[in-house]
Structure formats: structure tokens, C-alpha cells
């Protein structure tokens, strides 16, 4: 097999950034060597560029129902978009159908993703349709390498579970060492607030924001963490958006709760002024939880810096404005919730985080790659440049520029949350197990290259 070297770049390894070359063989990083060392068959010149572990995005919804809509990226188009944007592993959400057992769900989603993905993949199994023995089935999935689950504390009458069920899922999490992704929002309260707004004639998309105040998130965060503490389970808080939530996370960590918390690209880079219009076009920002104030955004960056938040995901949930979001033209409650971002996460965070001096290059690598790999049993195969790890690499030009436009994206959706932004940084190449899958912003990988990655449980 061809031996490949990546030469001349600045490598961010676990010990930090260093001038080094990488030697790759059989899809693995064989060695990190002094510049110029090692004989190889082929070389990639990375002079002046950053050589980073490929992005790991643990929060995507591809080919999936979302309210009255259905996400528009298939696993084929969505993972191509991910690859073009510097991500080399996705952990997608598999949505449980009514009456479906978890093993049946796992089989269905495995078949759906197999042969489709441009990059390596796994999925979390959603627990939303309760049946006797469901928590025993969680153990069966963990044994099969599907070591994490998803529950919703919102969307009553659809996917929401109650506190007793949450207690049981987190008890099973303690038993099996599996992580549970929790959508923490108080669904009961939100439904009442939303109904009141509509009864007052407030039906435009902008009312998505006041329907879901930050405290409805913070209350659910607190409740979930207390229930986790009662059980010894492993909670993962998805899409933290509100400053009020962070204190609850800090206090739970102090009490020894093994919580890991995530925020998303859009909460760190946009603010609630996106809702300041009566236009229906505001529906592009109807994603959940809604984007909060500048103060919340600053607090979230603070949470990234101090470790309260350790992962930034995309929550890629692409729904078209035309034909999907417009179902809610007369009532914001009917707008399918979600926004795209798997293609933009890495570069938007580099530009807004590293280039703006909000975080170091090393912290950037942790939040987009290393920590998500650690939290979900992918490390050290993924998420790190180290001897023996998969050669999943992002080669990035820190001095390049990238313009964002829906017209030029791989994401199969009719808008982009960062339309018109000019980002600092440009993706030069993306490698998956030593194979170049993207070059100069173009997806160039072999079809169906991605493989299912069985994941370890967190406590095994």
C-alpha cells in the first residue's frame, strides 16, 4: 500500500502545535516525524498550512422527520457536505418510529447509512416510543457498538418522554455506561406560552423566540442533571443556548455528575436580532432552542473557555424555506424546527474563534474534534493526531478566505445561516483514513468510502 507523507505544515497533536511531518500507511498515522524524515511513495505539500485532526460532528439529523417536515440532506449529500467542510466523522441521530423496538431501529438506520456515507459514521438511537423492556434493549445496542441514546424533554405528544422515563433511561445509562443525549427544554411550559402568543395573534416566525425563554432550557437542564445524579447515569446536554443553563452545569460538575455539555455553531456566532422582523423569511432561524441575546452568546464563549462547555456541534437539521418551513406561514408553531450547518461548523468556528482570538488553536481542535470523539467512544481512533490513529485530517490555510453562500454549498437546502459571510481560513484538503475526500472546497472522495464505526461505552 502507498506510503504517504504530509510535509511542511504545523501539526496540532495532543501535546500542542509543532512543526512536523506525518507518515501515513494503510489509512493510519504511522508516525509523527521531524520535517523531511521518512521515505514515502507520495507527498502532500502543506507548507504554511495547519494540519489538524478532522472534525467530529456528533449532532446531525439526516434523512429524518422533523415536526411536519423531513430533513433534506440524505446521508449521501449530508456527509459530502460534511467532508467538504472539514468534518471526517458524523454521529447522526436515528429517530425511533412509533412502536419500533430499539434493535429494529438500529437495523433500519444501519441499512440506511451503509454504503451512502462519504466519511466514517455512527449514530445515536432515539428513545421516544416507550415499551416494556426498552431499557434492556439499550444494553443490546451498546453491545453492538451503538453506545449512546437521545431523549427529548420537549415536543409533547410527539417525541417527549416524561421524568419517570428519563429516570429509567439514565438508570440504564449507569448500568451500561452509555451516554444519553438530552434535549433539555420544558416542553409543557413552552406549549402553554406558544398557545398564548398565538391566541394574541402573534403568529409570525419571530414569536418562536419569546415562546422559548432561556429559563425553559435552564429549568430542564437542572431537572435532567438532578435526575442523572439520582441514577449515576451519563448525561450529555445538547445545544446549550442560554446563559442561565451554565450555572446549573457548573454546579452539577462540582457535585461529581459526569455531565458533558455541547453548544452549537449558531449560538456562538449569531444573536437574537435575526428575529427582528415580521417577515416570514425569519423562519430560516426557527431552530430549537432559539438563538439568544449577545449576552448569552458571550457567556457561551466563556463556557467554552472555562470548560463548562466542551463540544460544539452543528445540529445540522436542513429544512427548506420553500415547501417545508412555509407550512407555518400562518402559525409559527407549524414551522418545522431546524437549520443547516454541518458544512460550515469547522470554518465558522475557526474564523470566529481562533481568528478573532476568542480561543486558541488547540482549544478549537478540542471542541470540534477531540472532545466529541472522547465523549462518544471514538477516541483515540478519531479526534487526534497520534501514532496509530486513523489518518482523518483537515489541512487548513489560516491565511485564506472563504465566502459563504447557499448557491455554492453542498448542503441540500435553499439557504445558509451565514449567507454572505466572509470567513478567515480556507480548507485546503480533507483526508479520511489517508484518502483525500475534499480538495480546495470540492468534494473529491470515492463514493461510499465511509464506514460504520462501533463505539465504546463511556464506562467500559
Pick the closer one to Zn ion by CB: 112 or 426.
Answer: 112
Residues 346-405 that bind Zn ion (CB under 5 A): none
Binding-site residue total for Zn ion (CB under 5 A)? 1
Pick the closer one to Zn ion by CB: 9 or 95.
Answer: 95
Residue 60 CB, nearest approach to Zn ion (Å): 8
Angle at 304 between CA 272 and CA 390, to 5 degrees: 115
Number of helices (H), then strands (E), belonging to the chain: the values are 12, 21
- CB burial of 45-72 (b: ≥16 within 10 Å; e: otherwise) equals ebeebbbbbbbbbbbbbbbbebbebebb
Interface segment toward Zn ion; rule CB under 5 A; list 229-237, 290-298, 314-322, 354-362: 314-322
Angle at 290 between CA 284 and CA 291, to 5 degrees: 85
Which residue from 418, 416, 420, 440 is spatially nearest to 429, judged by alpha carbons?
440
Residue 158 CB, nearest approach to Zn ion (Å): 14
Residue 93 CB, nearest approach to Zn ion (Å): 7
Residue of minimal CB distance from Zn ion?
Answer: 315
Structural contact between residues 451 and 89, judged by C-beta atoms closer than 8 angstroms: no
Pick the closer one to Zn ion by CB: 154 or 384.
Answer: 154
**Residue 357 CA to its chain's centroid (Å):** 23
Which one of 137, 315, 390, 414 is in contact with Zn ion (CB under 5 A)? 315
Angle at 229 between CA 170 and CA 95, to 5 degrees: 25
Q: At residue 183, what are phi and psi to the nearest 5 degrees?
A: -85, 105
Residue 61 CB, nearest approach to Zn ion (Å): 6
Interface segment toward Zn ion; rule CB under 5 A; list 83-91, 123-131, 216-224, 315-323: 315-323
Pick the closer one to Zn ion by CB: 92 or 397.
Answer: 92
Q: Is 217 in the site for Zn ion (CB under 5 A)?
A: no
How, if at all, do strands 69-70 and 87-94 pair?
A: unpaired
Interface segment toward Zn ion; rule CB under 5 A; list 190-198, 203-211, 274-282, 311-319: 311-319
Residue 146 CB, nearest approach to Zn ion (Å): 17
Pick the closer one to Zn ion by CB: 217 or 315.
Answer: 315
Q: Count CA atoms within 13 Å of residue 7 on its CB side.
A: 14
Cell of 336: 418545522
Residue 103 CB, nearest approach to Zn ion (Å): 23
The Cα-based distances of 49 to 68, 114, 134, 357 in angstroms read 44, 33, 49, 18
Pick the closer one to Zn ion by CB: 342 or 393.
Answer: 342
Pick the closer one to Zn ion by CB: 239 or 429.
Answer: 239
Residue 337 CB, nearest approach to Zn ion (Å): 9
Q: Using CB under 5 A, list all residues that contact Zn ion.
A: 315
Amino acid at each position: 500500500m502507498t506510503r504517504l507523507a504530509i510535509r511542511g505544515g504545523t501539526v496540532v497533536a495532543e501535546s500542542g502545535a509543532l512543526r512536523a511531518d506525518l507518515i501515513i500507511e494503510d489509512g493510519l498515522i504511522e508516525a509523527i516525524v521531524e520535517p523531511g524524515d521518512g521515505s514515502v511513495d507520495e507527498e502532500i505539500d502543506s507548507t504554511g498550512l495547519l494540519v489538524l485532526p478532522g472534525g467530529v460532528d456528533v449532532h446531525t439529523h439526516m434523512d429524518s422527520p422533523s415536526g411536519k417536515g423531513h430533513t433534506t440532506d440524505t446521508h449521501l449529500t449530508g456527509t459530502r457536505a460534511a467532508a467538504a467542510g472539514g468534518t471526517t466523522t458524523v454521529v447522526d441521530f436515528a429517530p425511533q418510529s412509533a412502536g419500533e423496538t430499539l434493535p429494529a431501529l438500529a437495523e433500519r438506520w444501519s441499512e440506511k447509512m451503509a454504503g451512502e456515507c462519504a466519511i466514517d459514521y455512527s449514530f445515536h438511537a432515539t428513545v421516544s416510543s416507550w415499551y416494556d423492556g426498552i431499557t434492556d434493549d439499550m444494553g443490546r445496542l451498546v453491545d453492538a457498538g451503538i453506545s449512546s441514546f437521545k431523549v427529548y424533554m420537549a415536543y409533547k405528544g410527539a417525541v417527549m418522554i416524561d421524568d419517570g422515563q428519563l429516570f429509567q433511561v439514565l438508570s440504564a445509562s449507569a448500568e451500561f455506561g452509555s451516554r444519553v443525549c438530552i434535549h433539555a427544554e420544558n416542553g409543557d411550559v413552552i406549549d402553554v406560552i406558544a398557545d398564548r402568543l398565538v391566541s394574541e395573534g402573534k403568529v409570525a416566525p419571530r414569536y418562536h423566540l419569546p415562546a422559548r425563554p432561556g429559563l425553559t432550557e435552564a429549568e430542564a437542564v437542572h431537572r435532567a442533571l438532578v435526575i442523572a445524579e439520582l441514577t449515576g447515569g451519563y448525561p450529555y446536554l445538547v445545544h446549550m443556548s442560554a446563559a442561565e443553563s451554565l450555572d446549573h452545569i457548573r454546579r452539577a460538575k462540582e457535585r461529581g455528575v459526569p455531565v458533558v455539555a455541547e453548544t452549537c455553531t449558531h449560538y456562538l456566532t449569531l444573536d437574537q436580532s435575526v428575529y427582528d422582523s415580521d417577515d416570514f423569511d425569519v423562519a430560516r432561524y426557527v431552530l430549537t432552542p432559539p438563538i439568544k441575546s449577545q449576552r448569552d452568546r458571550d457567556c457561551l464563549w466563556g463556557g467554552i473557555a472555562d470548560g463548562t462547555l466542551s463540544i460544539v456541534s452543528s445540529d445540522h437539521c436542513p429544512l427548506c424555506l420553500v415547501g417545508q418551513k412555509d407550512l407555518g406561514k400562518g402559525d409559527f408553531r407549524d414551522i418545522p424546527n431546524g437549520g443547516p450547518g454541518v458544512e460550515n461548523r469547522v470554518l465558522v468556528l475557526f474564523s470566529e474563534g481562533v481568528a478573532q482570538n476568542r480561543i486558541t488553536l488547540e482549544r478549537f481542535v478540542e471542541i470540534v474534534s477531540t472532545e466529541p470523539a472522547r465523549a462518544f467512544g471514538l477516541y483515540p481512533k478519531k479526534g487526534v493526531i497520534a501514532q496509530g490513529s486513523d489518518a482523518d485530517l483537515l489541512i487548513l490555510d489560516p491565511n485564506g478566505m472563504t465566502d459563504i453562500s447557499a448557491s455554492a454549498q453542498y448542503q441540500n437546502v435553499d439557504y445558509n445561516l451565514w449567507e454572505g459571510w466572509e470567513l478567515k481560513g480556507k480548507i485546503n484538503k480533507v483526508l479520511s483514513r489517508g484518502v483525500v475526500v475534499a480538495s480546495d472546497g470540492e468534494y473529491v472522495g470515492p463514493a461510499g468510502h465511509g464506514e460504520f464505526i462501533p463505539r465504546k461505552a463511556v464506562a467500559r
